Amino acid sequence: MLRMFYFSGTGNARNVAGWIVESFRARGLAAEAIDLAKLEPADVHIDPDDEVGLASPTHGFNFPPITLGFLFALPRAKHANRAFVVNTRAGVRFFGVCLPGLSGVTQLLAALVLLLKGYRVAGMRPIDLPSNWISLHPGLREDNIRAIYARSEAKTRAFAERMLDGRRDLRALWDLPQDLVLTPVSLGYYLIGRFWFAKSFVASRACDACGVCVKQCPVHAVTLVRGRPFWSYRCESCMRCMNICPKRAIETAHGFAIGVPLLLSVAMTAWVYPKLRTLAPWLSNESALGGVVRNALEAGLMLTVLIVCYRGLHRLMRFRVVEWLTMLTSLTHYRFWRRYKAPSTASSTRAASSGSARLPLPPPPRRTRRRPPR
């Protein structure tokens, strides 16, 4: 049986999992799509003849923490089970040309963990689907979404056929040089960037506390505090809340999230660094160690200040002037800044509407012979 685990913020990776499961079932093989956000690590069992698939978005050139947590908790393969990994990336389309996203360490790390756990990694495949990173750019236009989807569905199904034929597809390794260059950025995002993004979400006055964002958050990072959503550090910026809010009330507070670190940096340059030069000269000189320590301290301080200020902002948002200023400086608040939700495909709708972590059981297998793995 194929156990196709997936994590998905806005539906791309869920669709990929659905297509792969469909391809397996079309050959009469048992396959199930399993939403790993709804699983407890103890619930995961891998039988001797199971094949394991993993589909998840790329976040900051790596898999998001929830996917990494799942990978680390995955039981060891006792029978060298076959496994494959698909990372969905930020595809974009300009003037009819589709451009790919960037994987970074996503595939390498996942493959390494699987190999160390005794799996045979047969597939490593990035799939470029419309970028959902609405904090950074407006959602793609409908025609671009459709065009990117058509290309990527075909690629995903072809990949699934190769897995079904017992072949290998390690397409992700083609990008190895550029992916390795991105390693420091992926580390920076993991240690600092993701917390910064988590503290950039706010709800505008349009929020009626319906609780959809709280219920739908896959990592339970959103809570209602004094009648307004509050994002904890657990938030993985998967973009689900922002894209599904029925009132379009969730925004990225660009002015706040950029303004606070900027003010801090000015204050440090004006008051702290001159003092450091006399108190701890090794920190302020041009040595490499001094630079690393100073940057790490600065990033830690920036994050601490941001977290404290975020609490303050959440309280102050009930004052009209603060709310108005925050919205004025939130690019996502403007109408032209489209939201993104992956189009529903037949398989993804079934996976989502089942309400559980699993797709319904497949029909009994027809007699189709599968080529043995090489």
Indicate the residue among 83 and 342 with the shorter CB distance to ligand FMN.
342
Residue from 160, 165, 148, 104 nearest 342 by CA: 148
Position of tokens 């072809």? 158
Indicate the residue among 205 and 338 with the shorter CB distance to ligand FMN.
338
CB of 7 to ligand FMN, least distance (A): 7
Q: Using CA atoms, how far apart are residues 101 and 222, in angstroms rounded to an integer?
A: 28
Which tokens hold the place of 128?
Answer: 């470029």
Q: Does 36 bind ligand FMN (CB under 6 A)?
A: no
Contacts of 137 (CB under 8 A, 6+ apart): 131
Q: Name the residue whose CB lies closest to ligand FMN.
A: 101
Q: How many Cα atoms are found within 13 Å in the side-chain-facing hemisphere of 126? A: 27
Is the four-CA dihedral 36, 40, 41, 46 of positive or negative sign? Answer: negative
Which residues from 232-291 bind ligand FMN, rule CB under 6 A? 237-239
Q: Which of 67, 81, 107, 131 binds ligand FMN (CB under 6 A)?
A: 131
CB of 236 to ligand FMN, least distance (A): 7
Q: Which of 2, 3, 5, 13 binds ligand FMN (CB under 6 A)?
A: 13
DSSP string, 271-332: IIHHHHHHH-HHHHSS-HHHHHHHHHHHHHHHHHHHHHHHHHHHHHTTSHHHHHHHHHT-GG
Which residues from 198-237 bind ligand FMN, rule CB under 6 A? 237
Contacts of 14 (CB under 8 A, 6+ apart): 6, 8, 33, 35, 55, 342, 348, 351, 352
Residue from 340, 305, 301 nearest 135 by CA: 340
Using CB under 6 A as the binding criterion, the count of chain residues that bind ligand FMN stands at 26
CB of 323 to ligand FMN, least distance (A): 25
Q: Does 81 bind ligand FMN (CB under 6 A)?
A: no
Give yes or no for a contact between 51 and 22, defined as CB atoms under 8 angstroms apart.
no
Residue from 144, 180, 163, 186 nearest 86 by CA: 163
Which residues from 91-110 bind ligand FMN, rule CB under 6 A? 101-102, 104
Provide the pairing of β-strand 120-130 with 201-203. unpaired
Q: Does 123 bind ligand FMN (CB under 6 A)?
A: no
Indicate the residue among 107 and 131 with the shorter CB distance to ligand FMN.
131
Span between the terminal Cα atoms of the chain, in Å: 19
CB of 75 to ligand FMN, least distance (A): 24
Q: Which of 17, 22, 58, 163 binds ligand FMN (CB under 6 A)?
A: 58
Indicate the residue among 20 and 276 with the shorter CB distance to ligand FMN.
20
Q: Does 8 bind ligand FMN (CB under 6 A)?
A: yes
CB of 60 to ligand FMN, least distance (A): 5
Q: Does 152 bind ligand FMN (CB under 6 A)?
A: no
Q: Which of 52, 83, 129, 313 binds ligand FMN (CB under 6 A)?
A: 129
DSSP string, 72-120: HHSPPPTT--EEEEEEEEEEEEETTEEE----TTHHHHHHHHHHHTT-E
CB of 14 to ligand FMN, least distance (A): 6
Contacts of 369 (CB under 8 A, 6+ apart): none
Indicate the residue among 106 and 284 with the shorter CB distance to ligand FMN.
106
Contacts of 154 (CB under 8 A, 6+ apart): none
CB of 219 to ligand FMN, least distance (A): 12
Indicate the residue among 222 and 342 with the shorter CB distance to ligand FMN.
342
- Segment contacting ligand FMN (CB under 6 A): 52-60, 209-217, 277-285, 362-370? 52-60
CB of 102 to ligand FMN, least distance (A): 5
Indicate the residue among 52 and 90 with the shorter CB distance to ligand FMN.
90
CB of 16 to ligand FMN, least distance (A): 8
Q: Does 332 bind ligand FMN (CB under 6 A)?
A: no
Position of tokens 């597939």? 123
Amino acid at 145: I
> Which residues contact ligand FMN by CB under 6 A?
8-13, 57-61, 88-90, 101-102, 104, 129, 131-133, 197, 237-239, 342
